[in-house]
A and B are shown apart, each in its own frame.
Chain A
Amino acid sequence: MAQFICRYQKGERVRWISHLDLKRTLERAMRRAGLPLELTKGHNPRPKLSFGPPLPLGATGDAELLALHLAEPLEPEGLKQLLNRQLPSGLEVLEAWRVPVHQKRETFGQVDVAEYKIMVSNGLNEEELGNRVSGLMESETLPVRRGGGRPEREVDLRPLIISLAVSRTGPHEIELQARLRTGSHGGARPQEVVDLLDLNDDGRVVRYHRTGLYASAGPPTQRRGGVWRRWTRARRSRGKDSES
């Protein structure tokens, strides 16, 4: 029995696939790859899979996480290659590593920070966006409405926004780097931040790309690739194959 974590990319070709559909897609790819998936016990045996926080529909990302249990161990590199041969274009496992099998159900329960690159190409200048960002960050509270339909709730977004940084990336494109809370204890959606900044998002002028998933409880790291690595290290350091 062995547990593996894969970091994968959800790219341009599949950014309109919902999280539920993506889960089914990955599960089918694993079956095609002939992975020795460990199944749950009971009437309706299912592979034991867990997934990191879902991406919003239409967003891309290369910090996406999934965990799987195999009945027999495999080389992580081999697992990655087997799976990549069976993934539709737009999906790719970027790396895989083995983690100790642990009892906790929520493998990714500690992931609580997400980092997004939000690309804005509506002609807005850097300074203006910078001003709006400062205004936002200086606010005491940022109430937004959620729930669309029935019990509509009000959520304060301010404590859920950790940082926002603006930079110019091209003649007609500026980039907003957003570090946001995510996960079961409450999170901000990148779309909500864009709405607060009044960026007139009809999907054409604003694109979302998730660059990192982090566990703020883990040790810090300087490595490029985001805080998910901190979390990874934290996990690994508890396992046998600790490297730090």
Chain B
Amino acid sequence: MLLSRVTKPARYTNGEWNAVHRDTASARARFALVYPDVYEVGMSHLGLQILYHTLNSTPDFVAERAFAPWPDMESELRSRGLPLTSLESRTPLRQFDAIGITLPYELTYANVLNVLDLAGIPIRASDRGPDDPLVIGGGPGAANPEPMADFFDAILIGEGEDAIVEMAEAVAEAERTDVLRRLAEIAGVYVPSFYEVSYEGVGPLARVTPRDGAPPVIGRRIVEDLDAAPFPTRQIVPFLDTVHARATLEIMRGCARGCRFCQAGTAYRPRRERSVAALLRQADELIANTGYDEISLLAFTSVDYGAIQELAARLVERFGERGIGVALPSLRADAFSVALANTIQKVRKTGLTFAPEAGTARLRRAIGKQMEEDDLFAAAEAAFSSGWTRLKLYFMIGLPTETDDDVAAIGDLVRRLVQFGRGVLGPRRNRLQIAVSAATFVPKPHTPFQWVGQHARDELERKHRILQTALRGRHIKLSWTDPGTSALEAAVSRGDRRVGAAIEAAWREGARFDSWGEYFDFGRWEAAFSQKGLSIGDYANSPLDYGAHLAWEHVSCGPDKSVLKAEAERAIEGGGL
């Protein structure tokens, strides 16, 4: 038996509460929805559940799920010649009409190819025939679809609730020869094979132009009214302990804060809220349907929700006595947020997380991060005096205009927080811990910083050493992102279609699960890029010219290039707002 030979066999057995089992034979279009990471990660992704239930709530369309099998399962499948199947009906993926694959982050792209290959589907769209399913992409990675463009028949730019039904309709109605044309007529849908690419230099300098009347610019889809948008309250309850084992209530989408490095900040504009009334109704249904003991109020910054106090109070009033907690997954660094978390959270989590991003007020201003140091200290005071003893702080290294002094200032800030924390904690001061996590700045398409090069490895390592020296001492724990991982993220994030060939080469050499440290091999990726005559540095590290035509300019993801450029100039030359 195959399942006795793999870790966590429950990843593959399905039958979870609220999983939908429908007759697939009578459906007009059958979709397999794939999240290209392991089950526990994929099942924590709200987007997948939204699309799954949206399709399954129609009479005509059926959606089932599949995830990237863990390497032990992959080798079992390959050695027995078994194809990858959906969870629900165990139908081989290649028998579906369409495969919908989320592109959550760059480090999953090798898994996308692996899933297609395990399903027996040719990985390149141009190699697929009329009997193969359509392969449709979407999700955050679609903001720059180019690195994955050759592997997809169509990619949806933006939010999927409405568009997926329109796409399913096209898949159901159109003849296979005509379906791409039909899909391309749907707003937000990009059909890569209808475009030609001409390269204008080294790095992502490319022009993607339409053939045969396809739209020159593909605008992203957004849902206008969140209250009217479908929201699944019959969320699937995994048997396995997933990354987020709780009911998810999406209270708000988008963010109005305008951090200049943040792609989600531009791609999900404008900020839209659900009404308190709708949320209370959904919370009741969620708890009744799932049996979870915690509801998480999902948003980029949940405390930015206009009526957060009212919502939180009414949820606690409704569920508190039943032992059901309310969680704020994303806090703002100020006293208000901490006080709110303190009143509503059932479980006293040991730590709170804040993201100052930079060590000095000047640099925070330059990157558009609205956070005053006083607020951070007020948040820390509120946290320490209400029982928390651990803080986690997120910073970024390699930000535009960053100097060595800015990096060293992180150490200064953290040491002052330690001093302060010891004072507030008094007799409990020995429990104080401040964990500093230093991510690497990654330039992202459609942000004001898309033109900025990421630091090369040497420079990053030099700054990590500055950080290390500045952050010695009791109570402090420092970690940082592996520079190789960051470089790959940047190169793929700013990649063009040529980068797709490098992704394929890396996958052929065994790249899988690159977001998992134990499987990531930077050497393999470097070799794959150079095998295709490319270099990671040209995509990741080179600054790009404002005047150059970038590989993703046929995708419109919010602000115009001129707006982004003005923002970038204000940040870099003006040093702030």
Contacts and interface: CB of A to CB of B under 8 A. Distances in A.
Contacts of B289: 32
Contacts of A203: 1, 3-5
A204 B1 CA distance: 5
Interface in A1-50: 13-14, 16-18, 20-22, 24-25, 27-32, 34, 37, 39, 43-47
B15 A14 contact: yes
Contact of A86 (B1, B245, B291): B291
B519 interface: no
Contact of B10 (A21, A27, A37, A202): A21
B16 interface: yes
A226 interface: no
Contacts of B322: 31
Given A29-B291, A88-B15, A21 B4 contact: no
Contacts of B17: 25, 28-29, 32, 86, 88
B323 A16 contact: no
A202 B2 CA distance: 9
B290 to A, nearest CB: 7
Contacts of A45: 323, 346
B230 interface: no
B469 interface: no
A159 B5 CA distance: 30
Contacts of A57: 9
Nearest to A31: B291
Interface string B491-532: 000000000000000000000000000000000000000000
Nearest to B293: A31
Given A17-B239, A18-B10, A203-B3, A32 B15 contact: no
Interface string B311-346: 000000000001110000000000000000000001
B345 to A, nearest CB: 10
B232 to A, nearest CB: 16
Chain B: interface size category: 20 to 34
A89 B88 CA distance: 13
B305 to A, nearest CB: 26
Contacts of B245: 24
B566 interface: no
B558 to A, nearest CB: 39
A58 interface: yes
A22 B16 CA distance: 11
B3 A20 contact: no
Nearest to B387: A43
Nearest to A26: B291
Interface of B: 1, 3-5, 9-10, 13, 15-17, 237, 239-241, 245, 287-293, 322-324, 346-348
Given A27-B291, A32-B289, 20 more contacts: A16-B10, A18-B10, A21-B10, A21-B240, A25-B17, A28-B17, A28-B290, A31-B324, A32-B290, A34-B288, A37-B323, A39-B323, A44-B347, A46-B323, A58-B3, A58-B4, A86-B291, A88-B239, A202-B1, A203-B5
Q: Nearest 8 CB-CB pairs, A to B?
A: A203-B4, A28-B291, A203-B1, A31-B291, A16-B9, A32-B291, A45-B323, A21-B239
